[in-house]
Chain A
Amino acid sequence: MQNNLVEMKQVRKEYGEFVAIHAIDLAIEKGQFVVLLGPSGSGKTTILSILGGFVTPTSGTVTISGQDVTLVPPSKRPTVTVFQDYALFPHMTVGNNVAFGLSMRNIAKPDRIRRADEALKLVGLEGYAKRHIHELSGGQRQRVALARAIAVKPSVLLLDEPLGALDLNLRRQMQEELVGLQKQLGTTFVHVTHDQDEAMSIADIIVVINRGRIEDIGPPEEVYQRPSTRFSATFMGESNVIEGDLEKGSDNQALFNSPLGRLPLAKQAASDKNVHVLIRPECLRLEKPTDDAIDIGKIRVTERVFQGAHVRLRGHCANSPDQSLLIRTDMSGAPHEGDEITAYVRPDDIVILND
């Protein structure tokens, strides 16, 4: 409890008939880089706005550092938001933009200039204080927006899709810099994005959001490898979601009855009908990786796409042609369209999903 810097309890937001957020609970530890990931309209930005104080929840409470801030306006919160469109002050120099928050805190001018220069240095814009906003490129504006936010040393920095407007190379670079900055400052970052690659590469904790609910939460590896819901599994990268029935086998081992055959699972599970499981494309192997790996039968390759480091295959089960599968494999010895192959999966790589 004491470790949580930010806590949202049963926070719900309605806009008339439309429910944007369904009573969510979210706890964020101090110093974490948290990414709220979801498709557009999922409510991720609404959650960020509630944290920033721009939106008041219909019910529920938000606490930061143990203080109830549910009704506290943005200006009195220990949070600062970096807006998607940067929202820089166009009539001020870079230096005055960065020093604005400090001057609102009545910090003396020499201190203000020193701290603004420090913040600019942190984002790699040393010596830009005298420039005007319209002289800067998109990437530089992004950095000014960051510097302006970190200059006031917020306890939580909120980032609303800040990299959305940048081109791919610059976005990659800024992702690395954001992570570097976050580790250096130790400030808690809450970052909103719809890009799962971005989320995986920068987050300590990913919060997957869909239709105003938290679908999944955890470190990137965990959310990718062991997603808890179907949405989370399909939103985070490519996936094979297979439907079947769960039953108890001998020794209490769970068996999954599916178009791929009867697959033994690593964990125990109660019997159930119409259950979905996840197998990631890279978990389907063409050679038996370990002794406990299961043969899932013959697969006819119908599509082969070269993707640089690996090959992406689409195939159909020979036994049940309706079941299509994605397989990711190495370049060397990859089969071709029309080939019939045998695939294997480790029981540990079969993940039961909630609906």
Chain B
Amino acid sequence: MKTTWWGQIPSSLYVLILFVFIYLPVVVLVLFSFQDGLTPVPPFKGPSLQWYERLLDNRRLMESLLNSVVVACASAFIATTLGFLAAYTLARRAPRFADFARFLLMAPLTVSYLIIAIGLLITFNLLGVSKSLIVVTIGHIVINMPLCFAIIFSQMGDHQRNIERAAQDLGASDIKTLLLITVPILRPALFASFCIAATLSWDEFIIAFLLSRFDVTLPVIIFEMLRAGLTPEVNAAGTVVFAISITTVLFAILMSTRRR
């Protein structure tokens, strides 16, 4: 059936509205970060980079940005490593209760961050561990590990199993097979898992807010700024967070879809 140009109008309109709905808030946020004025509300005046200058001068904010990078990278690395080891064991060693173990590993994906944050808060309180960035990092590992596991587990096909067998057949020990064969072959999945975990940690607010005290992450600082009042500086900070997130995700997609 041939579709006429006017027949495509409803579907085109739908797509347009959908994208406006999704991206308008982001566009507004980014646009008003360039506002030449004191409030991020229409009409738009500018463009001006003054609020970005203010960001660079804000020492507490710049420190929190560095904290966020460290927490994101550390938690993503550990979550990916743990997720990989769990996926490898369940896919290759097929222990008893593997299905149940898989369920237990994935179940936290459905629990809200708030509940996990409260649970961690109580647990660390009981253990006498005070709030810090290390605790935040542990919190981020807890929320991201199930996702890392799921991503990596989905990529451990049976074809790779034969490749690992071939390596062992040729005399490689288990650990050498893991490091020389399994990890390099899974590199795209491991990389995607790392990037996604890092992005989620970078954006995460509630756990970072409840489990940190003096040193905080960028989303926590942005929240503090918001409480003081709406200024284009908040928009500028939000734009930085968004830009870094989207770059990481695009990079992850690019790397994982690249032809081997």
Contacts and interface: CB of A to CB of B under 8 A. Distances in A.
Contacts of B176: 104
Contacts of B184: 91
A100 interface: yes
Contacts of B185: 89-91
B159 interface: yes
Contact of A87 (B165, B171, B173, B187): B165
B163 interface: yes
Contacts of B162: 83, 85, 87
B168 A75 contact: yes
A152 interface: yes
Given A89-B181, A91-B184, A91-B185, A148 B170 contact: yes
A104 to B, nearest CB: 4
B225 interface: no
A73 B162 CA distance: 15
A81 interface: yes
A52 interface: yes
B165 A100 contact: no
A53 B184 CA distance: 25
Nearest to B173: A75
B260 A100 contact: no
Nearest to A52: B169
B150 interface: no
Interface string A121-137: 00000000000001000
Interface in A77-96: 79-81, 83, 85, 87-91
A160 B165 CA distance: 13
Contacts of A54: 165, 169
A75 B169 contact: yes
Contact of B170 (A73, A90, A104): A104
A238 B159 CA distance: 37
Query: Which of A54, A88, A104 has the largest count of B CB atoms less than 10 A from its CB?
Result: A104
A149 B169 CA distance: 9
B260 A75 contact: no
B210 to A, nearest CB: 42
Interface string B168-205: 11111100100001001101000000000000000000
Interface residues of B, number: 18
B93 to A, nearest CB: 14
A134 B184 CA distance: 15
A104 B171 CA distance: 6
A81 to B, nearest CB: 5
A134 B260 contact: yes
Nearest to B259: A134
A168 to B, nearest CB: 25
Given A89-B181, A91-B184, A91-B260, A83 B166 contact: yes
Given A104-B176, A134-B260, A81 B171 contact: no
A330 to B, nearest CB: 47
Nearest to A152: B170
Which of B166, B167, B184 is most buried by chain A, counting CB atoms within 10 A of its CB?
A: B166
A38 interface: no
B168 A73 contact: yes
Interface string A88-111: 111100000000110011000000
B170 A101 contact: yes
A83 B165 contact: yes
A74 interface: yes
Contacts of A100: 167, 170, 172
B260 A90 contact: yes
Contact of A75 (B163, B172, B181, B187): B172
A282 B159 CA distance: 44
Contacts of A134: 260
Contacts of B171: 75-76, 101, 104-105, 152
Interface string B222-260: 000000000000000000000000000000000000001
Interface string A198-221: 000000000000000000000000
B172 A81 contact: no
A340 to B, nearest CB: 57
Contacts of A75: 168-173
Nearest to B184: A91
17 contacts: A54-B165, A74-B168, A75-B169, A75-B173, A80-B170, A81-B169, A83-B162, A83-B166, A85-B159, A85-B162, A87-B163, A90-B185, A91-B260, A100-B170, A104-B176, A148-B166, A148-B170
Interface of B: 159, 162-163, 165-173, 176, 181, 184-185, 187, 260
Going nearest first, the 3 A-B pairs with the smallest beta carbon separation are A101-B170, A104-B171, A87-B166
Given A74-B168, A79-B169, A101-B170, 17 more contacts: A52-B169, A73-B168, A74-B169, A75-B171, A75-B172, A80-B170, A85-B159, A87-B166, A89-B163, A89-B166, A89-B185, A90-B260, A91-B184, A91-B187, A104-B171, A104-B172, A104-B176
